Structure 1
C-alpha cells in the first residue's frame, strides 16, 4: 500500500519564478518506504505567467481559479489532495532535506494532529537568520500556541508556513481562514485548539525574504485591518476550544 503526503502550494504570478527552487527541494526529500509525495500547485488567479514554471512531473497537479489570495487558493487545492497528510509549502520557500520524513514520523503518533519545524529566514544576499524563541523539540500541548501568541504581540512560537497536518483535520476545520492575511496563523491556532502538535528543532524550511512577498507589503501591517484579523483568529480558536467533545485523539482531559 502506498501512502501519500500532499504538498500544497499557493502561487501568484510574481512568485512563479521561485517554483523551480521549491520543486528542487521536494525532489531532494527522502521518504520512508511506502511513502510518496504529491505536489498540488494552485494559482491564485488565471494568468499565463505561472504555467511555464510548473515542472513536467506526474506527481505535480496544477490548477487555476479566480483570484482570492492564498487562503482560497490553498483550500481550492485541497480538492485535488490525495494524501492522508497535507504539507504547506509557499511558492517562494524551500524545504530542507529530511523535512517530510520527520513530519511523517511525528504524525505516526495517533495523538498528534499537526507538526511544525524550525525556520531560517533566507535573505536576498543568501545569508540566513534564525528565530531566537523556538520552543523545545517535542509535543505542543493544546492551547499553548494561543497563549504564547496572545502574550507576545500576536507572534506564535511556531511558524504556520511549516505546517504538516492530517488532511481530515484540515477539512473538518474548513481549511485556511477567509482572511486577506494571517490565514495560516488562523489555521494553526484552530489546529492547536483541538489537537496536540509537534515541533521539530531541526530546520525544516528556508523562508525567502524578497521585496515582492505579500508579507512585506504595507497593507499587511495596516493597524486597523491587523487588529480585525487577530480578533477573528482568536475568537475562532477560543470557540473551538470551548466546544464540548471537539478534540482530536484521546487528549481531552476534562
Structure 2
C-alpha cells in the first residue's frame, strides 16, 4: 500500500509538542487561545447550526453529526463539540498532544476519538465528516493547497469547513509575533513565521482551488485596553475565520 503524502512540517509539529502539557493551563502558553476560544466557539456553533438546521437551545443539538477537529491540540474545541452531542474525532500530527487530550476528556466524562494522524492519512483512508474544524493550522503546514485539498476530501458532499488563521501584514507582525511572542511572552519565540501567514483573499483562493465554496469570513479582534476579543464583520487585519462548503 502506498503511503499517503503529508503536508506536515516536522519543525512546526515540534514547536507544539514541546508545549503539549500546558494545553489546559489557563495561565500558560495557551492563555491567548483560552481567551479567544469562546468567540471561536460562538462562530463555529452558529455556522454548524445554520448549515444543518439545528437549534442550539435544544438538548444535544449536534447529535447525528460527525465532526473532525484537525490539529486538535489538547481538545479545546473537540470537547465542546462532544458536549453538544456530536460524534467527534480529534486528530493531531503532534503525538504528545493526544494523551493530554485523552486524559482531559476522560476526566470530563467525554467520549472523543483522539488520533495521532494527519489530514492526508485520514483522507486516504476514506474518512468523511459532516464538518471539519481547521483552526490555526493552515499557517503551520508545508503546503496549504495540498492540506486544504485533503480537508475537502474529508468532507461529505454538502459538508462544512471552518478555517481560521492569521492575516499577513505589518499589523499582524506586530500583534502576533512582536506582541504575543516578544512582549507578552504568551508564546515561545519562533512559534509563528510571518511569511507563512495568509491573507483572507489568498485563503479564499486556496479554498476555491481545493474544491470548496467559501461562504463567509469574519475577524477575531483583540482589544488590548478592554483586554478582550470580539467578532467583527469588517476587521480581518490579524486573526480571522472562514466558512466554506463542499458542493453536493
TM over 0.5: no
Which has the higher relative contact order, 1 or 2, with Cα contacts under 8 A spaced 6 or more apart?
A: 1
Q: TM-score, normalised by structure 1?
A: 0.32
Q: TM-score, normalised by structure 2?
A: 0.32
